[in-house]
């Protein structure tokens, strides 16, 4: 009988619990013993590996976050740390590992795979910047949270004829800001992938008012060169010349919490089940993701060696639609 462990690593994402549930129950259906690693790679090093039964993952599909917990682990970035993790799994007879997470998590999975241990990754990050999956677990729910915030801010902005800036998560990738901005009809979108001059944004907002709009919404990713704080300060300093100021709302980690939507529950379930299927077939060292609507296995070395680029044509489209 095989013993398989699952862990979640890096930032939590809505839908991770759905993936854990699917992994445990499909593994049990194959006659395997299933285990959960608490607190990510740190827990793997310290041996926080506990058995999981069907009832242990009951009632979690609708919950945000991850029942297993997650933690950053500098020690795992060293070969010595990874060898400690392998020793812990060897002592408990673990014969395979499924890693749910984003870029850093899958880099760790790749390093274990290079050392000869059977590992399969599951694509999960609200940033949607992981190569090997068109969309990752948590993205849709996080985007819906941002969209709801935009819609609510528009009501107040129209009532008071004001300009609002909404900062969403995305330190290195502007996917959430771009897509939520398009879906919410934002007048301006600022992302890390492209520098935007505050004067250009001010001109866009002024044009919106001149064209009869009762509101103006800017969506900015937290990692943009001119983030929420920088933009607010700029508009405050030049308030008399620009003629208006910005009211700032930061969503922060609100986007990562809460109950996952139906899409993320289904995606987490599909990718989790695919991960156990992959291990059963001996297809290890791969990331399970969704490409062109199909569940796909991409080698982990390809995943870590490539960067997922944002389609900047959508930013140009957003500018046209905002006029």
What is the per-residue pLDDT across 166-203, written as a single tens digit (0 to 9) for each?
Answer: 999 998 999 999 999 999 999 999 999 998 888 888 88
Tokens of 5: 């462990």
Task: Judge whether 182 lies within some domain.
Answer: yes
Residue 233's Cβ-side half-sphere holds a number of Cα atoms within 13 Å equal to: 5
d(C-alpha 175, C-alpha 179), whole Å: 6
> Quick one: angle between helices 79-91 and 103-114, nearest 10?
70
What's the pLDDT score for residue 201? 87
Indicate if the pLDDT at residue 74 is higher than 70. yes
Same domain, 252 and 148: yes
Cα dist. 240→63, 234, 243, 245, 248 in Å? 48, 11, 5, 9, 18
Indicate if the pLDDT at residue 214 is higher than 80. no
For 161-203, where are the E strands, in sequence order? 163-168, 188-190
The alpha-helical segments, DSSP class H, found in 260-312 are 262-280, 300-305
Q: Which of 256, 287, 317 is the last residue of a domain?
A: 256
d(C-alpha 143, C-alpha 168), whole Å: 9
Q: How many domains does the structure of the chain reveal?
A: 2
Task: Judge whether 311 lies within some domain.
Answer: no
Residue span of the structural domain in which 251 resides: 140-256
pTM of structure: 0.93
Q: Using one digit for the tens of pLDDT, what is the confidence trace for 262-314?
A: 999 999 999 999 999 999 999 999 999 999 999 999 999 999 999 999 999 99
81 is in an annotated binding site: no
In this structure, the number of other CB atoms found within 10 A of the CB of residue 236 comes to 11
104 is in an annotated binding site: yes
**Percent of the chain predicted with pLDDT > 70:** 99
The question of whether 127 is a catalytic residue gets the answer: yes
**CA 182 to chain CA centroid, nearest Å:** 19
253 is in an annotated binding site: yes
Q: Which of 127, 144, 204, 264 is catalytic?
A: 127
Q: What is the DSSP letter of 321?
A: H
Same domain, 206 and 231: yes
Same domain, 157 and 210: yes
Confidence of residue 258 (pLDDT cuts 50, 70, 90): confident
Same domain, 173 and 226: yes
CATH for 205: 3.40.50.460
Task: Judge whether 320 lies within some domain.
Answer: no
Higher pLDDT, 306 or 157: 306
């Amino acid at each position: 009988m095989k013993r398989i462990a699952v862990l979640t690593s890096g930032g939590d994402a809505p839908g991770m619990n759905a993936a854990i549930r699917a992994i445990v129950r499909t593994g049990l259906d194959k006659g395997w013993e299933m285990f959960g690693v608490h607190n990510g790679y740190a827990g793997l090093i310290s041996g926080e590996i506990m058995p999981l039964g069907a009832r242990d993952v009951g009632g979690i599909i609708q919950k945000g976050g991850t029942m297993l917990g997650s933690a950053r682990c500098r020690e795992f970035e060293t070969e010595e740390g990874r060898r400690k993790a392998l020793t812990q799994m060897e002592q408990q007879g673990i014969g395979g590992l499924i890693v749910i997470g984003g870029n850093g998590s899958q880099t760790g999975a790749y390093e274990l795979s290079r050392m000869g241990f059977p590992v399969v990754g599951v694509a999960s990050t609200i940033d949607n910047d992981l190569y090997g999956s068109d969309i990752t677990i948590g993205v849709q729910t996080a985007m819906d949270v941002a969209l709801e915030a935009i819609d609510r801010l528009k009501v107040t902005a129209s009532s008071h004829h004001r300009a609002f800036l909404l900062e969403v998560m995305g330190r290195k990738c502007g996917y959430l800001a771009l897509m939520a901005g398009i879906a919410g009809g934002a007048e301006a979108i600022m992302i890390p992938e492209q520098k935007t001059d505050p004067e250009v944004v001010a001109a866009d907002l002024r044009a919106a008012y001149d064209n009869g709009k009762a509101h103006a919404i800017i969506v900015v990713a937290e990692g943009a060169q001119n983030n929420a704080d920088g933009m607010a300060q700029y508009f405050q300093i030049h308030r008399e010349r620009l003629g208006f100021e910005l009211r700032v709302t930061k969503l922060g980690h609100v986007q990562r919490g809460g109950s996952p939507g139906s899409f993320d529950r289904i995606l987490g379930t599909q990718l989790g089940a695919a991960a156990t299927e992959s291990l059963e077939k001996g297809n290890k060292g791969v990331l399970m993701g969704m490409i062109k609507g199909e569940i796909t296995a991409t080698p982990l070395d390809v995943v870590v060696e490539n960067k997922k680029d944002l389609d900047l044509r959508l930013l140009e489209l957003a500018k046209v639609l905002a006029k």
